[in-house]
A and B are shown apart, each in its own frame.
Chain A
């Protein structure tokens, strides 16, 4: 926005003739439009990647028809969705029916306001940034319940109630494991949380108090996965049981909004996980933080968020959906006790002077374990490829 204002000043006569409030409003509108455009275009990419991944993991190719390698498939789908008629069933509660998808989208988009892409590139550095994201994240629940209720459809209502139960349940372990990070960083501001993790991969909160924060990371990641209503926690829309859950009655543009919200929320949740545990915009090596004098923090944050979005998708095509009781079991009897245990133990460790800055062995695990994980993944990928090549050779011979 400041850049836009500076750009306006370059226009001759702008500062003299245009009042300050007008140019600020105009810059704000333009900046908001740009951000909104970029954020809404994101899901087009995610949907393509998701469908491709789904195909690849099932030994298929995914979309291949529209454009080269099916690249234009999601664009075609988006256009189709936008131009399709939005059907209002006769018995719906019209105002709520319209407001619900808007609320869900707003809830997803508002998370972007505090995501720190770089020390300066951030909507606003709220002192309670982490708390804000959690609070805004629950806004979508309201939208989902509204959608389910307004649809006047028992399946939609089932989906809505399930989503309420699920998000309320998983919010708690998420917040509890968030508290761990907040205690270590000593601040709720996302900017300061990232600043506390600067200096390379071994400083990330993932490796603090070595085995403990990894567990906190897993708890938080699982909880955010559930809050995004993604498989294996997608019981609000469980298509085999509830038609399509809360968005059963939605079509056309309103359905597209739910879709947009889901994928945006995925990105926000993944970005939050990477801010809290994976160093946010801090590069894994301090050397890589700047390229040719430019801070490439945003690239790092987006790369980390996308990596986690990939894990979301990976899990989706790996795990079957949980039952409702299993879901509650996982939230209340597994994640919550672990998170409480971590709060107590890490809180205790932080108060002890000897371990206030983490265990002495913390820096020694980050790199080897990351290397081990990457090495394992690359090796298995290579072996899978070569194993298949051998099968083909044997079949031909």
Chain B
């Protein structure tokens, strides 16, 4: 079957999709977006976390046909310039790229993962970045450690580099909230769980 889906702001079409196929397989193998990783295929590890219509989901548990007509944002879509790109095709800029970061510049969350040394083998990183992005996007103050742990409870790091990952999320949240002009004393962080 054919699946039409908006990925990172760009309308895309995948053909010859098997009816039992996952959104993850379509992203990685048919649309050339290998950012979301394929690990457990049962929703346990979070490596394939993407946004589906604005909320984070495990792409391995979304049937490809369920994504028809919906909006997906992958880790590639968080950085400017790294968005929708077909394998071997020309590099295209994200259509909705906001002014600010230049081409191929990382999102704040990604930058903080690099700065904090929160990347070891890197396999869990894309899922953690998307899930942390969602936590921070919905936060009105820097989340407490318990809230970060809860938000990231479904993302496994087999290198067990969790302390640095928490450092990265704290750093990214502090910077994002400073940018937004919100302080530490705001209302409790609401979304992201």
- Binding partners A and B: no
